[in-house]
């Protein structure tokens, strides 16, 4: 079956939308509207969909790259997958370590100690999920991959319950709580508190080792969705099937939520089903608008970012850190000064914060546009 470029456009738009929204929610000038904030712990907001959608988009991309791998020998495939996994993980780790040095009270500059550097993170999880999912997809049969995905979700539920602290599912100190979850216990045992994320006020990593297991399923779901769209994407029956499966997964997720709470920070299995279901629904709507209604003029904005997704995401993280390091005014960084003296001046409060985030996203988009003009596509 011959596949046209148009058939892939909804996937490109989906990837670009995910990156744009990710930049907006990651770089607010100050307090944000609730849809642009993560759920405190249990629960779900639109922002909680961003990272799993990125993983889903990674799976979409694998559905194209795996064709090339079929022509390669085992050694070449392993080299490509493991090399890419290592490089993405390393970039994520370097971002955690950045800016590599700090100034002491005496005025001398010293390197940030590796003993206090966070090991895991967003890019590190992307790397691990990409690597494991790619190896499964390439070396195992479809039925085996699907069976293992079910095992990952149910097995993680069991591990989270068995090794978590005793208590009810919604207890503040139970098996799925911030302090009592099994993911935290494993991370502390493997890495220690100093290598964990401290943004929750306590040592806890939302990209922990154990919760990486169910997140692999987001990539696998994206892969098989990508194959399905390439083969049946323009058939109305296929679109209805995609929307139906998406709705069914959301219903199952919220039913499961009664005993295994939907929770991004420990990436529960119910969270996986909810996010995969929503991604299928969103992608189905995009296919309907783009391929069935032929409304495509608006898509260029998002495909610009979708052509260099990883590079633009890294740019957004690195540039924000650099600007936040540069002093401007009394006790302010460049980021704080711009927000206080411009965005908060013209629109105080959450609206000004949102305008700052959108402006920052547009700056990153401009870089992506320049890369597109020059036909530069950065791949790891």
**Once rounded to an integer, what is the mean pLDDT over residues 31-38?**
91
The pLDDT assigned to 99 comes to: 85
pLDDT digits (tens, 9 = 90+) for 276-288: 999 999 999 999 9
Q: Where are the domains of the chain?
A: 5-103+110-373
Beta-ladder partners of 101: 111
Query: Is residue 7 scored above 70 in pLDDT?
Result: no
pLDDT band at 2 (very low <50, low <70, confident <90, very high): very low
Lowest mean pLDDT among 105-109, 189-193, 263-267: 105-109
pLDDT more than 70, % of the chain: 97
> How far apart (Å, rounded) are the C-alpha atoms in residues 330 and 271?
43
Q: What is the pTM of this model?
A: 0.93
Long-range contacts of 318-327 (CB under 8 A, 24+ apart): 318/95, 318/98, 319/363, 319/364, 320/26, 320/27, 320/360, 321/95, 321/98, 321/99, 322/99, 325/99
pLDDT digits (tens, 9 = 90+) for 80-95: 999 999 999 999 999 9
Residue 136 exposure: Cα atoms within 13 Å on the Cβ side = 24
pLDDT more than 90, % of the chain: 76
**Once rounded to an integer, what is the mean pLDDT over residues 300-311?**
94
Helix (H) or strand (E) holding 148: helix 142-163
The pLDDT assigned to 331 comes to: 67
The pLDDT assigned to 346 comes to: 92
Q: Which two tokens mark 13? A: 């738009």
């Amino acid at each position: 079956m011959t596949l046209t470029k148009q058939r892939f456009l909804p996937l490109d738009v989906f990837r670009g939308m995910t990156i744009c929204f990710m930049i907006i929610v990651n770089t607010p000038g100050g307090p944000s509207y609730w849809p642009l904030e993560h759920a405190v712990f249990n629960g779900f907001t639109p922002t909680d969909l961003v990272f799993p959608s990125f993983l889903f988009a990674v799976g979409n991309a694998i559905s194209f790259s795996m064709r090339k791998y079929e022509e390669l020998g085992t050694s070449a495939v392993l080299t490509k997958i493991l090399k890419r996994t290592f490089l993405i993980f390393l970039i994520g780790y370097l971002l955690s370590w950045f800016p590599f040095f700090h100034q002491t009270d005496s005025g001398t500059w010293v390197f940030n100690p590796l003993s206090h550097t966070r090991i895991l993170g967003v890019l590190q999880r992307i790397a691990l999920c990409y690597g494991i999912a790619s190896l499964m997809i390439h070396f195992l049969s479809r039925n085996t991959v699907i069976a293992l995905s079910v095992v990952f979700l149910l097995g993680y539920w069991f591990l989270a319950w068995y090794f978590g602290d005793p208590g009810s599912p919604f207890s503040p100190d139970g098996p799925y709580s911030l302090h009592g979850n099994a993911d935290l216990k494993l991370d502390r045992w493997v890495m220690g508190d100093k290598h964990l994320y401290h943004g929750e006020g306590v040592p806890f990593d939302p990209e922990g080792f154990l919760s990486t297991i169910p997140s692999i399923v987001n990539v696998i779901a994206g892969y098989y969705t990508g194959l399905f769209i390439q083969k049946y994407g323009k058939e109305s029956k296929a679109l209805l099937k995609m929307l139906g499966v998406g709705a069914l997964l959301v219903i199952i997720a919220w039913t499961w939520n009664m005993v295994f709470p939907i929770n991004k920070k420990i990436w529960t299995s119910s969270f996986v089903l909810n996010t995969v279901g929503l991604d299928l629904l969103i992608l189905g709507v995009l296919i309907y608008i783009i391929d069935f209604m032929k409304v495509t003029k608006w898509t260029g904005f998002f495909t610009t970012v979708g052509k260099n997704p990883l590079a633009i995401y890294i740019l957004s993280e690195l540039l924000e850190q650099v600007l936040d390091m540069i002093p401007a005014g009394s006790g302010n960084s460049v980021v704080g000064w711009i927000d206080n003296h411009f965005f908060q001046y013209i629109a105080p409060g959450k609206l000004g914060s949102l305008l700052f985030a959108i402006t920052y996203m547009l700056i990153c988009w401009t870089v992506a546009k320049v890369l597109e003009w020059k036909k530069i596509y950065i791949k790891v």
